[in-house]
C-alpha cells in the first residue's frame, strides 16, 4: 500500500477548502467568499482500496491562508500553514492570479524555494479565467522552474481534480494505512459543528462584521435520534453583538436555522440548537483567549 501527507497552501480565498471538499466528495471544511475563513489545519483523508498493489491513502492538510498577520490570531494561522511544509511528502500550492499581481504569492514562492519536497502549482478557477490570462499565469510560474507540474483546475466544479489526484498518487511511496477506510477527517464532530456555526455567521453577516468571531460549544448531548447543542458566538465589540442578533433576533434565528439544517445532515439526527452571543473584547490579540478557543500557539 502507498500512503502519504499532502499540504494544501496558498493565499487567503484561493479555494483551498473548496479543493479539499472536492477531493473527498463531501464537505468537511467550511467555505465562504471571505478571506481567512480557515483558521485551523484540517485533515481530509482520501482512501482508495481495491485489494491490489495500487491501494492508496492520501491525507490532505488544508491550511489557513498565508498572509501578513495583523494580530496574534493571524500570526498563529500563518505559522501553522508554514509549518505544514515540514511534515508532508507533497505540497499543493494554489493560485488564481498572475505572480506579478501582488506580494502574497511571491512571499510563498520564496518560502517554497527552501524546501526539497515535490511541489504542484495549481491554477484554480479556470472556469473564470480567459485563455490569455491562464497562459500568462502558467508561463510566469513555469519560468521559476520550481514545480513538479502545473495543473489548471476548477475546484468548485471538480474539473481536473482527478488529474491532480492521479499525479499526486504517482509520488506516494509505500507506507501504512494511517486511518480507517471509512474515515474522511480526523477532526471530531464537535469541531465540525462549531465550524458550521462560524460559517453561517460569516455568510449571514456579509461585510458587517470583520473576522472577530469565535465559537465555543458549551454543551453537546447525544440522545436517541436527537443531539442537543448549546454554543456561544463571541465577538469583539458590543456594537457587533447587536448586529449578530439582528432586529427582533432575526439574524441570529437565521444563523441558527441554517446551521441546524446542515448539522442534521452531518450527524444524521434531529438537532436542537441554542445560540448565545457574548462580547470578549480584542480576543484575537489575547494569548489566553486564543488558547481557550483552541488556537494553540506553536511551541
pLDDT tens for 115-150 read: 888 999 999 999 999 899 999 999 999 999 999 999
Which pLDDT band, with edges at 50, 70 and 90, does 207 fall under?
low
Q: Considering all CA atoms of the chain, what is the largest pairwise distance in Å, rounded to the nearest integer?
A: 61
Handedness of CA 101, 61, 28, 163 (dihedral sign): positive
Find out whether 267 and 223 touch, Cβ atoms under 8 Å: no
Angle, to 10 degrees, between the axis of helix 250-267 and the axis of helix 189-205?
150
Residues 40-56 have a mean pLDDT of 79
Locate 243 and state its grid cell: 448586529
Residue 116, pLDDT score: 87
Asked if the 189-292 domain carries CATH number 3.30.300.20, the reply is: yes
Find out whether 217 and 230 touch, Cβ atoms under 8 Å: yes
Domain 2-174 in this protein, CATH class: alpha beta
The answer on pLDDT for 67 being more than 60 is: no
Pairing type for strands 2-10 and 173-174 reads antiparallel
Domain ranges of the chain: 2-174, 189-292
The answer on pLDDT for 70 being more than 70 is: no
CA 1 to chain centre: 27
Locate 277 and state its grid cell: 452571543
Amino acid at each position: 500500500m502507498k500512503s502519504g501527507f499532502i499540504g494544501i497552501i496558498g493565499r487567503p480565498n484561493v479555494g483551498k477548502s473548496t479543493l479539499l471538499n472536492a477531493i473527498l466528495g463531501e464537505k468537511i471544511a467550511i467555505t465562504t467568499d471571505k478571506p481567512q475563513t480557515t483558521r485551523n489545519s484540517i485533515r481530509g483523508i482520501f482512501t482508495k482500496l481495491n485489494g491490489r498493489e495500487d491501494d492508496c491513502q492520501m491525507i490532505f492538510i488544508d491550511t489557513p491562508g498565508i498572509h501578513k498577520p495583523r494580530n496574534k490570531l493571524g500570526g498563529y494561522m500563518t505559522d501553522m500553514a508554514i509549518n505544514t511544509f515540514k511534515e508532508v511528502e507533497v505540497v499543493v500550492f494554489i493560485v488564481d492570479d498572475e505572480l506579478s499581481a501582488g506580494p502574497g504569492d511571491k512571499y510563498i514562492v520564496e518560502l517554497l524555494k527552501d524546501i526539497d519536497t515535490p511541489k504542484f502549482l495549481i491554477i484554480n478557477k479556470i472556469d473564470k479565467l480567459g485563455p490569455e490570462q491562464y497562459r500568462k499565469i502558467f508561463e510566469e510560474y513555469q519560468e521559476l522552474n520550481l514545480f513538479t507540474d502545473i495543473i489548471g483546475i476548477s475546484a468548485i466544479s471538480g474539473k481536473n481534480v482527478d488529474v491532480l489526484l492521479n499525479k499526486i498518487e504517482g509520488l506516494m511511496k509505500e507506507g501504512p494505512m494511517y486511518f480507517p477506510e471509512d474515515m474522511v477527517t480526523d477532526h471530531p464532530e464537535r469541531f465540525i459543528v462549531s465550524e458550521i456555526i462560524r460559517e453561517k455567521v460569516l455568510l449571514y453577516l456579509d461585510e458587517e462584521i470583520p473576522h472577530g468571531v469565535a465559537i465555543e460549544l458549551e454543551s453537546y448531548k447525544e440522545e436517541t435520534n436527537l443531539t442537543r447543542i448549546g454554543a456561544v458566538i463571541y465577538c469583539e465589540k458590543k456594537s457587533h453583538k447587536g448586529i449578530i442578533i439582528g432586529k427582533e433576533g432575526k439574524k441570529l434565528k437565521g444563523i441558527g436555522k441554517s446551521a441546524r439544517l446542515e448539522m442534521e445532515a452531518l450527524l444524521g439526527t434531529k438537532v436542537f440548537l441554542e445560540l448565545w452571543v457574548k462580547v470578549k473584547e480584542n480576543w484575537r490579540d489575547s494569548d489566553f483567549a486564543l488558547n481557550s478557543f483552541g488556537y494553540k500557539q506553536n511551541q
